[in-house]
Amino acid sequence: MIEIIDNSVQLAVLAVMTALCAVYSYRAKQQNAGILAMFYGSFVLGDLYWLLYLVFYGYTPRVFYISAVSWYAAYVFLDLVLLRMASEEERGTRWPALWLVPVFPAAMCLYYLQYGDVFGNIVSATLMGLLMFHAVRGLVWARKHGGNRGRRMFCACVLVFCLLEYGEWTASCFFDVDTLASPYYWFDFALTALTILFLPAYRKAVEA
């Protein structure tokens, strides 16, 4: 039951955020906000399939790639927002220490291989590595060059989003109970709350 509640809450929140982001994109003529709306919408589609499967069959999907593809698309759209927010000078800058960032998703990928399939883990690690790399680069750039608070907040939100996803995935390796005793749900509730911050942070970044 808690899994249905968790997915229902997340679906409702993300659906509202999709609508708000789409309306903002249209009124402000912000193409990048439209891409952010696609991030929300893709996540909604993945959650919708997962929730319907839970309701009709009473257990989590055995073939989860339908939801996974939607979530992968959401990661791609979120990364596009980060890339389009970055200046050409920022995108061309390379700090050697930044290349340590992908080490974390790569290490986690190797660990998760004992629990999941090779293809899904590699795709997840690649997309998460890109998100974390671009988010950290944005934070470092903003600190060095006086970026606005909204930009820093957006990059920080993306980085925390990735870490919460890893928290969920790691918890699911050790806890397989449909109760609030599982940390998985606390990570997922936190992730749902965090996604609400993406739109105001984005608006603050572009309107500053």
pLDDT in tens, 39-56: 999 999 999 998 888 888
Tally of domains within the chain: 1
What pLDDT was estimated at residue 80? 96
What pLDDT was estimated at residue 123? 94
Contact 21, 13 (CB under 8 A): no
Say which residues have a Cβ less than 8 Å from residue 195's Cβ, sequence separation at least 6.
13, 14, 17, 40, 43, 161
Give the domain extent around 33.
Answer: 2-207
Widest distance between CA atoms in the chain: 53
Token reading at 198: 């993406």
Say which residues have a Cβ less than 8 Å from residue 207's Cβ, sequence separation at least 6.
150
Token reading at 29: 């003529």
What pLDDT was estimated at residue 151? 86
Distance CA 32, CA 29 (A): 9
* CATH classification of the domain holding 140: 1.20.1070
Contact 155, 142 (CB under 8 A): yes
What pLDDT was estimated at residue 1? 75
Contact 81, 36 (CB under 8 A): yes
What pLDDT was estimated at residue 195? 95
Segments of the chain scoring below 50 in pLDDT: none
Token reading at 113: 């291989």
> What's the whole-model pTM score?
0.92
Contact 162, 132 (CB under 8 A): yes
Contact 208, 150 (CB under 8 A): yes
